[in-house]
Structure 1
Amino acid sequence: MPPRRSHNKSRNGCTQCKQRRVKCNEKGPICQQCVKRELQCSFSTPDRDAASATSQEITASPASTVPLPTSHPRSEPSFQLTPAVTPIYKEPSDNVVKHSDRILELELMHHYSTSAYISCVGLRAHTETVDVWQKFVPSESLKHEFLLNGLLAFAALHIAKLTRQPNPKVQSDITGSFLSSSSFYFQKALEYQNLAFESFHGVLQNVTPDNCSAVFGFSILTMLFAIAIPGIEDGGQGGPSTSSLNSMQSIFTLFEYLKGLSSIIEVSKESLHAGPFRVLLGRYDDYTTGNWRITNADVAQTLNKLTILNNEFNASSGEFGTNVELSKFATNARAISLLEFCFAKQEIPSDEAQAQAVKSSPDIDRGYIVGWLGMAGGEFVSQLRQSDSLSLLIFAHWAILLDDLEDFWWTHNSGKVLVAEIASVLHTGGDVWKERTRWARKKVGLP
């Protein structure tokens, strides 16, 4: 029999590999096995690294070690860590960036810059905004932590959507493989969004010309993030959530962080109009001039019913309230007026073939539909969270426009889900509310 090949045994593997009884490659700060399984490797702790380094020096082969002198103890350098190594391990272990986290963030940034940016607002109608979303926003995110985390959250949610519910209607510009399942990326998206809000809350109190573009960009990404949630949480079925108000409350909670966005835009109007987002802000210029009207009689009649209901429910609040601007009447009236503008900019044809042509047209600017969320104002968002019936009904009519943006991944099924959930809540008020939601349900294909 041929002699067995000799091999060196080592007891210097990390604690995790020893417990699992697998071969450790003994390379820190995180060994290959721990990187693969996303484990906290003992090599990443200061004590373990120091002990490992000392052990390696002691057990080194005779050919690679210098004999220790016997008569001069002060000349024993082999047991001392070099100055270049020591500072690295003086930092607390909590500050050490996990290798797996770094890889994930690089993947998400790459995914955003090569793919996810394409689906941002109005990109199909305004090709000049490509540089804004692909270059300016990532560059600006390196200066503002809230924007960086918001960008990573948006990219993670995009991957979660694509890996969970493949659909030929959704943009199919993605290449490459993914590290894990949809649920992993969905969880990471929520984590990064929470991190973004932690720092964004303080920034809202101090918006300046230097950060107003970052605030505006983050607000848009957050609105798209919020819109995408219902379509992902329902599993792509387009029906109401099994938990009452689950999807609606998710989207309203995110909108709550953007309360006052319209005021911020007004205060920073000069800086924003001089910056890279000037093209996006021009969408509502026609609204302020009043040079628009709804040409579809069916749409005009339906939206007029919302105005009649607002007069019936809240007119006294608008006339005699201590603060007319913040009353339900004034808040709903502004939301309805903005909604009429959105419908005027994008008519909803009665013929299905024409409707599909409008949906897929590259010449239609649809960014103002998303802008309605910010322009409607913080008080309207508060009324939605309080489940105000008329505010929910107005919101359901906006969801019809959202359903017409189905070719964007962040809207797929969200409009239908929102209409279904709002209807399920309002229908508890009796047949009169079933009639009031009938038009919205019909437009999104619900019974």
Structure 2
Amino acid sequence: MPPRRSHKKSRAGCRRCKVRKIKCDEVHPRCGNCSKHGVSCDFEHPGVRDTHTPNIASTSDATPAPTETPRPASSTSASVSAHSPATHGDSPTNASDTTTPTIIGSTPVPIYKTPEPLPLSSTTTKRNRMLELKLLHNFTTMTAKTLSVSSPVLERIWRVTVPELAFSSASYLADTLLAVSALHLRSSAPHDRELIRASHSYMASACSEYGACLSKGVTESNAEALFLTAALIAFQSTASRIFTRDDINDRTGGYSLPLSWFHSFQGVKAVVAATWQWLRISTIVIPIIESQPALNLDLSGHPTFFSDLMVGVEDEVAKFENDTATQLETRMAYQHAIAVLDWAHKIPYTGAPLVFLATVSRRFIELLEARRPRALAILASYFALLKCLDDVWWLKGVARREIMGIVSLFDPDDEEWWPRLQWPLRIALHDNVIIPPQVWGRDWAAQTTNTSQGGGFVSHIELLSDMFSTMPQMNGATPDLEPAHQYIVEQEGMMRDILLPEGLEILPVD
């Protein structure tokens, strides 16, 4: 009888083969037996092998051992080895058996698991997510710097604080940030259809949600978000003007006035006045207001640089206004608008001219809509003030284009108004942003006006708040926001008529 061939028992087989008491071919990353039956093999996860060897002797070929109940993590390896029964997940199976064994819960769990899918909409694509990241990055690194003329504190609010507020409380504010950022990127790529669609789609979404919120009223928790959204909508309305055609024609073929600018800024004013009880103590809104130069208006009637724009006002109101109250309202609308021009003319490079849009009265806007010559001449002078901000991306070329458009509405033989348009024309045609005093009409650099205190704006808002407080209350506690809601509805419609390029459909945001 030949000697018995020596045999070395393998101890490196997979756990499943050991439990089934069959020879494992030890093929990695999945042994032959496990591959054949389509089950998990612990060779695939070498770092998650049990710390103890199964008790083969206690395993019955006919009856599987009960499934092991997991022990607390604090149990020691010694107690596990001494007291834990062997665990296996299937009954012994012949090599020819093609039935897939049942996997019991003790199958080793891999360390690295496939992550659960993110809770994104089924319509959200990777491209859309990357676009939003791009827009947010651009807003925080670039756009926020352009929302303030010369205020580091205000820049940080737009760059850091406002996005944080958008993430925590208001999706419409977040949509507005993305819309403004897309518009900013368009200034370098005006024909990029992806940016065009993003700018309009996000703004349309923001206006819809924002309008719904206004219709329900405001609370202390959302007053800041509503103000910031209104401010960014007004900014979007203003900045979008640079992407319109050079002639800025309306449906009749003539020059189209930028009425959307005024409507959107009037909306900001209405929101501020209606929510001032909360905004007056806001650490976000008050710095924005105080960053503006003091609004010191001269309403005394003394001669000023723009006094000639008031000449003949009595004859005009007597001709066009039927009652004394309307005559007084019209006269005051002109007087107040011209006072703002005089104030901003003294300190043009501080950003003061931008205040004009929010401070003029509703009556003045009605006079613009009626295309009264005096209102148009005042508007031309306002755009001349913006010439000193021509290096800002969203105001580049605006002064010249708008003034030439307004002038086109006048007859050159008009002896009454054509001479009063000469100053805006000279400013519009000037080649440089820095305008010499002899052209500007005042040595603005030598002015001693104190622009470091912002109390004038706070007082102005206090007056508006008092006016709104006399209106009916919503739900017994919330200020009436119908004026603000009206403006935002008007603005949403104007976006489609004025801001939307022809042939481009506004699609919902994914």
Q: Distance in 2 between matches of 1:388 and 1:406?
A: 27
Question: Which of 320, 341, 344 is the equivalent residue of 2:343?
Answer: 341
Kept in 1, the 8 Å contact 2:341–2:382? The answer is: yes
Kept in 1, the 8 Å contact 2:183–2:195? The answer is: yes
Are the structure 2 counterparts of residues 315 and 393 from structure 1 closer, same or farther at C-alpha, using a change threshold of 3 Å?
A: same
For 1:279, the aligned partner's letter is: P
For 1:307, the aligned partner's letter is: M
Q: Distance in 1 between matches of 2:300 and 2:331?
A: 23
Question: Which of 219, 223, 227 is the equivalent residue of 2:230?
Answer: 219
Offset, 1:110? 0.7
Are the structure 2 counterparts of residues 414 and 97 from structure 1 closer, same or farther at C-alpha, using a change threshold of 3 Å?
A: same
| Equivalent position of 1:397 in the other structure | 381
Q: Distance in 2 between matches of 1:158 and 1:247?
A: 28
For 2:378, the aligned partner's letter is: I
Q: Distance in 2 between matches of 1:141 and 1:227?
A: 22
Kept in 2, the 8 Å contact 1:160–1:186? The answer is: yes
Is residue 2:129 matched to residue 1:127?
no
Offset, 1:443? 1.0
For 2:278, the aligned partner's letter is: S
Is residue 2:213 matched to residue 1:228?
no
For 1:103, the aligned partner's letter is: M
| Equivalent position of 2:268 in the other structure | 261
Question: Which of 136, 145, 149 is the equivalent residue of 1:109?
Answer: 136
Partner SS for 1:157: helix
| Equivalent position of 2:354 in the other structure | 370
Q: Distance in 2 between matches of 1:420 and 1:286?
A: 31
Q: Distance in 1 between matches of 2:255 and 2:264?
A: 15
Kept in 1, the 8 Å contact 2:135–2:178? The answer is: yes
Are the structure 2 counterparts of residues 103 and 64 from structure 1 closer, same or farther at C-alpha, using a change threshold of 3 Å?
A: farther
Q: Distance in 2 between matches of 1:385 and 1:200?
A: 26
Kept in 1, the 8 Å contact 2:37–2:98? The answer is: no
For 2:202, the aligned partner's letter is: Y
Offset, 1:155? 0.7
For 2:197, the aligned partner's letter is: Q
Are the structure 2 counterparts of residues 250 and 63 from structure 1 closer, same or farther at C-alpha, using a change threshold of 3 Å?
A: farther
Kept in 1, the 8 Å contact 2:269–2:358? The answer is: yes
For 1:281, the aligned partner's letter is: I
Alignment of 1:168-207 (within 5 A): 182-205=192-215, 206-207=217-218
Kept in 2, the 8 Å contact 1:247–1:418? The answer is: no
| Equivalent position of 1:306 in the other structure | 309
Q: Distance in 2 between matches of 1:151 and 1:267?
A: 23
Kept in 2, the 8 Å contact 1:226–1:255? The answer is: no
Are the structure 2 counterparts of residues 211 and 331 from structure 1 closer, same or farther at C-alpha, using a change threshold of 3 Å?
A: farther
Are the structure 2 counterparts of residues 345 and 113 from structure 1 closer, same or farther at C-alpha, using a change threshold of 3 Å?
A: same
State the superposition RMSD in angstroms.
Answer: 4.2
Q: Distance in 1 between matches of 2:267 and 2:36?
A: 71
Q: Distance in 2 between matches of 1:246 and 1:230?
A: 17
Alignment of 1:87-98 (within 5 A): 96-98=123-125
Partner SS for 2:148: coil
| Equivalent position of 2:65 in the other structure | none
Question: Which of 146, 163, 167 is the equivalent residue of 1:138?
Answer: 163
Kept in 1, the 8 Å contact 2:231–2:268? The answer is: no
Offset, 1:284? 6.6
Q: Distance in 1 between matches of 2:418 and 2:130?
A: 51
1:406-436 Cα offsets, whole Å, 9 max, x none, are 1211110112111111111234895644333
Are the structure 2 counterparts of residues 411 and 289 from structure 1 closer, same or farther at C-alpha, using a change threshold of 3 Å?
A: closer
| Equivalent position of 1:277 in the other structure | 285
Q: Percent identity?
A: 16
Question: Which of 410, 433, 441 is the equivalent residue of 2:394?
Answer: 410
Question: Which of 296, 319, 323 is the equivalent residue of 1:320?
Answer: 323
Are the structure 2 counterparts of residues 107 and 140 from structure 1 closer, same or farther at C-alpha, using a change threshold of 3 Å?
A: same
| Equivalent position of 1:148 in the other structure | 174
Q: TM-score, normalised by structure 2?
A: 0.54
Offset, 1:222? 2.8
Kept in 2, the 8 Å contact 1:159–1:185? The answer is: yes
Are the structure 2 counterparts of residues 285 and 245 from structure 1 closer, same or farther at C-alpha, using a change threshold of 3 Å?
A: farther
Offset, 1:338? 1.9
Kept in 1, the 8 Å contact 2:337–2:360? The answer is: yes
1:262-291 Cα offsets, whole Å, 9 max, x none, are 343234345334222323323678435759
Partner SS for 1:163: coil
> Which structure has the larger Rg?
2
1:76-124 Cα offsets, whole Å, 9 max, x none, are 9xxxxxxxx9x989x9x975323222211111011000111001123x2
Q: Mark the runs of 5 or more structure 2 residues left unpaired by the alignment.
A: 1-34, 41-92, 104-113, 432-510
More displaced, 203-212 or 333-342? 203-212
Are the structure 2 counterparts of residues 416 and 289 from structure 1 closer, same or farther at C-alpha, using a change threshold of 3 Å?
A: closer
Offset, 1:224? 2.8
Q: TM-score, normalised by structure 1?
A: 0.61
Offset, 1:256? 2.3
For 1:163, the aligned partner's letter is: A
Q: How many residues align?
A: 330
For 1:425, the aligned partner's letter is: L
Kept in 1, the 8 Å contact 2:380–2:402? The answer is: yes
| Equivalent position of 1:209 in the other structure | 220
Q: Mark the runs of 5 or more structure 1 residues left unpaired by the alignment.
A: 1-61, 77-84, 165-180, 347-363
Q: Distance in 2 between matches of 1:304 and 1:132?
A: 38
Are the structure 2 counterparts of residues 339 and 284 from structure 1 closer, same or farther at C-alpha, using a change threshold of 3 Å?
A: farther
Q: Distance in 1 between matches of 2:37 and 2:330?
A: 81
